[in-house]
Amino acid sequence: MERALELAALGIEADPNPRVGCVLLDPDGLLVAEGWHQGAGTPHAEAMALAIAGERARGCTAVVTLEPCNHTGRTGPCAKALVDAGVARVVFAQSDPNPMAAGGAATLRAAGIQTEPGLMADRVEALNATWNHVLRTGRPWVTWKFAGTLDGRSAAADGSSQWITGAAMRRVMNERRARCGAVVVGTGTVKADDPRLTVRDEQDEPVQRQPLRVVVGDSPVPAAARVRGRDGLYRQLPGGDATAALEALACEGIHHVWLEGGPTLAAAWWRAGVIDEVIACLAPALLGAGTAAVADLGITTIADISRLQLIDVERHGDDVALILNRPTPNCKEK
């Protein structure tokens, strides 16, 4: 299972599908074949391993990070493929939370194949944490990232904001943005900063795989705005209902949203209870005046202060990133 986890981690984190790894072992415990899911529309991990193994798969044990699927989509059901290949035993970590794909273990058992669930389930759930979240809640995991000075300013009094943090911090945050399915800002940020919202390499060129670029708000986005692009990865969603916006993104296969604000949208989503994680990138600098990182949260007394759970502290160059979670559940499981 350790090796299956390593294989699963080779998958694309932002893909609509979970990252899955599979190892086939012969009756003596020797490696026969291995596979991992390489992205939507490609063979699943089990199918890849079975294709490599061929006839050698008969009598093998399949060790898989996720319960083999029982669903026909762009590819066929892995449970049936394992039955047809003559596999004798299937060990898997996490049961599939997707009701459309679940039931693979029952199909295997009905065919006389021994199944053993639950091995290292916690680690596999952590590997696909955001995918699990969207299936259990109906909306993507939301990370709100902002850059600020020590006195809490995200822009100067004249509106300028590039750059508060240094190159090292921006490079790390760019890498994290690349692992998300969508980058979200409000219409005010588009009009003030005209951002591209793309993921770019060290030569400032766009990388091949890009997140969806989403603008939330009812104001029209200028036709010449850079966020629109020409690659079909631009969306504008109505403001006012954060949950509806997120559910719309979930329908597009998005399970991790990277919220970059501005302060009005960040405040609205915080008050709606849909922000799960905060990454505060703090520069050792002062502005004294300017725009705050977040707008009014409706808090008027210290007794109502919103306290977060500190998960980690990172230093990148001269800047510090605080990784924080909201300490209480944000929505009911469906």
In a domain, 133, yes or no: no
The partner residues of 310 in beta bridges, in order of sequence, read 324
Do 116 and 155 fall within a single domain?
A: no
Q: What pLDDT was estimated at residue 328?
A: 61
Report d(CA 20, CA 127) in Å as an integer: 9
Do 114 and 173 fall within a single domain?
A: no
**Given 105, 127, 149, which residue is the final one in a domain?**
127
Q: What pLDDT was estimated at residue 71?
A: 86
Tabulate helix, strand, coil % of the chain (nearest 5).
Answer: 30, 25, 45
Phi/psi at 167 (nearest 5 deg)? -65, -40
Q: Which two tokens stand for residue 187?
A: 């219409």
Specify the number of domains making up the chain: 2
**Given 127, 152, 184, which residue is the final one in a domain?**
127
Q: What is the domain-level CATH number for residue 244?
A: 3.40.430.10
Do 171 and 291 fall within a single domain?
A: yes
Residue whose C-alpha is closest to residue 205's, from 179, 174, 241, 232: 174
Report d(CA 222, CA 97) in Å as an integer: 41
Q: What pLDDT was estimated at residue 327?
A: 79
Q: What pLDDT was estimated at residue 106?
A: 96
Q: What is the domain-level CATH number for residue 78?
A: 3.40.140.10
Catalytic residue among 34, 46, 67, 277: 46
In a domain, 106, yes or no: yes
Residue pLDDT, tens place only, 108-166: 999 999 999 999 999 999 999 999 999 999 999 999 999 999 999 999 999 888 899 99
Q: What pLDDT was estimated at residue 329?
A: 52
Which strand ranges, in their side-by-side order, compose the sheet holding 319-325? 234-237, 212-216, 182-186, 256-259, 141-148, 277-282, 319-325, 309-316
Residues sharing a CB contact under 8 Å with residue 89, sequence separation 6 or more, in sequence order: 60, 61, 62, 113, 114, 115, 116
Q: pTM here? A: 0.90
Do 211 and 267 fall within a single domain?
A: yes
Q: Is 46 a residue of the active site?
A: yes
Across the chain, how many H-helices and E-strands are there?
Answer: 10, 15
**Given 97, 127, 157, which residue is the final one in a domain?**
127
Q: What pLDDT was estimated at residue 200?
A: 85
With a cut of 50, which residues of the chain have pLDDT below it?
Answer: 330-334
Phi/psi at 237 (nearest 5 deg)? -115, 145
- Binding region for substrate: 161, 177, 197, 200, 260
Domain that holds residue 246: 138-333
Q: What pLDDT was estimated at residue 331?
A: 41
Do 315 and 170 fall within a single domain?
A: yes
Do 272 and 314 fall within a single domain?
A: yes
- Binding region for NADP(+): 147, 163, 189, 193, 262-268
- Binding region for Zn(2+): 44, 69, 78
- Binding region: 44, 69, 78, 147, 161, 163, 177, 189, 193, 197, 200, 260, 262-268
